[in-house]
Amino acid sequence: MKVVGLTGGIGCGKSTVAEIFGRLGAYIIDADQLARRVVEPGKPALAEIRKAFGDEMLAPDGTLNRKKMADVVFARPEARKTLERITHPRIGEEIMAELKKAQDQGCKLAVIDAALLVESAAAGWLRPLVLVVADEEARISRVCGRDSFCAEEVRARIKNQASDDERRKKADFVIENNGDIEALKLRVSGLYRELTGQEPGKKGE
């Protein structure tokens, strides 16, 4: 089974690429989804976050207030490092468990979808690495259209992440996502074929 890393900045369309890979037959491991799982109420990570950052990081229902947590880590690099020390090892354990599931199912391709792959130690061993990029204005338009962010908030998040130039230096494949969805499907389908040596399947069809 080939394991591929999929990454890209906010608004680049990475999740759409992951969805297309999944429809073609890949096993998708969504790191953001796993990050939510490890901080669910009752999990040790949430208790550690509460101890490190205070009760204000919890919503009234006892779940993690992700918006407030994001505001803190974007504003304070040391806070981001503290959060990563708490969550990253646990997310890694979840990823390994998902990879075992994919292996047991006989999957030919597993895709680890994670926004911060380039910034993490995983960039050193997770190969090949697929990068999704898009023009800044397209990214801003997408995020503002789906979330309650203004353009300046999106720009601030883009600046806080690694630049596309930095990401390109570590990427093995780059998917340009400035066109329409059909063009994107063709690019991903071709990459699936290149990565696996097989014609894509069609899940759910």
What DSSP designation does 8 have?
-
Number of domains into which the chain is organized:
2
**Residues above pLDDT 90, as percent of the chain:** 61
One domain for residues 22 and 113: yes
In tens, the pLDDT along 155-169 reads: 888 887 888 888 898
- The domain in which residue 39 lies consists of 31-92
Residue with the bigger pLDDT between 173 and 162: it is 173
Residues 112 and 193 occupy one common structural domain: yes
The count of residues in the chain is 205
Tokens 């890694």 correspond to 92
Same domain, 22 and 36: no
pLDDT for the residue numbered 35: 92
Please give the pLDDT value at position 205.
42
pLDDT tens sequence across 58-69: 999 999 999 899
Span 21-41, pLDDT tens digits: 999 999 999 999 999 999 999
Residue 119, burial from CB neighbour count under 10 angstroms (0-12, 13-18, 19+): middle
Q: Rounded to two decimals, what is the model's pTM?
A: 0.84
**Mean of the pLDDT values across residues 44-70?**
94
Same-domain status, 155 and 125: yes
- Interior angle at CA 116, CA 198 and CA 84, nearest 5: 130
Structure tokens at 136: 């800044």
pLDDT at 204: 42
Q: Is residue 41 part of a domain?
A: yes
- Is pLDDT at 100 greater than 90 in this prediction? yes
Task: Say if 100 falls within a structural domain.
Answer: no
Average pLDDT over residues 97-111: 95
- Mean pLDDT (the chain, rounded): 89
Q: What average pLDDT does range 103-113 have in this prediction?
A: 94
